[in-house]
Amino acid sequence: MSFEKVGFGIIGTGAVAAVHAQAITGSDYAFLAAVYDVVPERAQEFAKKHGTVAVADFDAFLKTPGLEAVTVATPSGFHHDPVVAAAKAGKHILCEKPLDITLDKIDDMIRVADENKVLLAAVFQSRFKKAVAAIRKALDEGRFGKLVSVSAKQLWFRDESYYKSASWRGTWAVDGGGALMNQGSHTVDLLLYLGGEVKKISAHTSNILHKIEVEDSAFAQIDYVCGASGTLEVSTACKPGYPVTIEVTGTAGSAILKADTLARWTFVEERSEDEQIRRECAEGAAHSGGAGAAMDFDCHGHRAHVDNLARAIRNGEKLMLSGRDGRLAVEFIQAVYESSRTGLPVILR
């Protein structure tokens, strides 16, 4: 059965836009129709590299022939306006993490998308890892028994040159926070995906190493609605940087996700497929997942997002990560910041 490819445009041609371009051009369900950037020269150079056209005027970009969807790859605090404009123009949207840096802006983005009957998808590409899918499936099947703990460590490193590479990095106004909002949002999403809704958070943030106005380290105690507990440690001050580790433990089994691999897969009731799961998830990609360098990851997860949105547009496939799903991570992060400011726990549910 043939599939009519969906035309995607990219808004913002900074570092992560190259990953989106690779994902779109490598997709069986999409093609790259056009790109736009507030700096036209940068957009022109980007378009030439990726075999598409750059449109200097934003309104004209949204009217590009064949353009049905956009990916928003601008700095975090500049997501709201292009998302809203694209939605009002009838374009479906794939927005980089976090959806934006305030819940008010995110709620407005969701509202406008709903009103204009367009799809709003959030980027959290870690959900598409094979090992994550295996854990989620085991949770759905009740293999862990009653959950006891869902915890994570993301002890990464960024040097001063990273924060100086763009004026918005490490600022409250545009980055919306530091290690937790920028780098840690992926891990927060996985905690929510695997542990479920959060009831209460007690947290502390600090700046240990960097000359920035936001945190480079955050630590939280988590109580989940399901009754489990957990901890989250996130930092960009841990040289040289270490792979993200997520541990899911229950009364009948446990799993440890380390970067792209399963470091543990143990259940009271062993199944015939378990050895195959261990084997298939034992080896990860050569990249570090961003532990020591900002762009050290591949486009596999982004391509899965592009494919999912394109199929949702054409065939009604359910979004892997909707705007409402993406909102949950920012709600969690804002609760961490509030708890750190007040010294008190924050009740979410």
CATH number for 249: 3.30.360.10
- The reply to whether 111 and 132 lie within a common domain is no
Q: Are 111 and 144 in a shared domain?
A: no
Distance CA 17, CA 31 (A): 14
1 lies in a domain? no
Average pLDDT value for residue range 320-331:
98
Averaged pLDDT for residues 34-47: 98
| Structure token pair of residue 278 | 């261990």
Instruction: Report if residue 290 sits inside a domain.
Output: yes
Beta strands (DSSP E) in the chain are 6-11, 30-36, 67-72, 92-95, 120-122, 147-155, 198-206, 217-224, 229-235, 245-250, 253-258, 261-267, 346-347
Residues 270 and 214 placed together within one structural domain of the fold: yes
The reply to whether 137 and 119 lie within a common domain is: no
Same domain, yes or no: 248 and 189? yes
Same domain, yes or no: 115 and 247: no
CA distance linking residue 151 with residue 93, whole number of Å = 31
Asked if residue 341 and residue 253 are part of one domain, the reply reads yes
Do residues 175 and 101 both lie within one domain? no
Residues 240-298: tens digit of each pLDDT: 999 999 999 999 999 999 999 999 999 999 999 999 999 999 876 444 466 655 555 57
182 and 54 within one domain: no
Pairing status of strand 147-155 against strand 198-206 = unpaired
Domain that holds residue 251: 127-294+329-347
Closest of 298, 322, 301, 299 to residue 312, by C-alpha:
322
pLDDT of residue 207 exceeding 80: yes
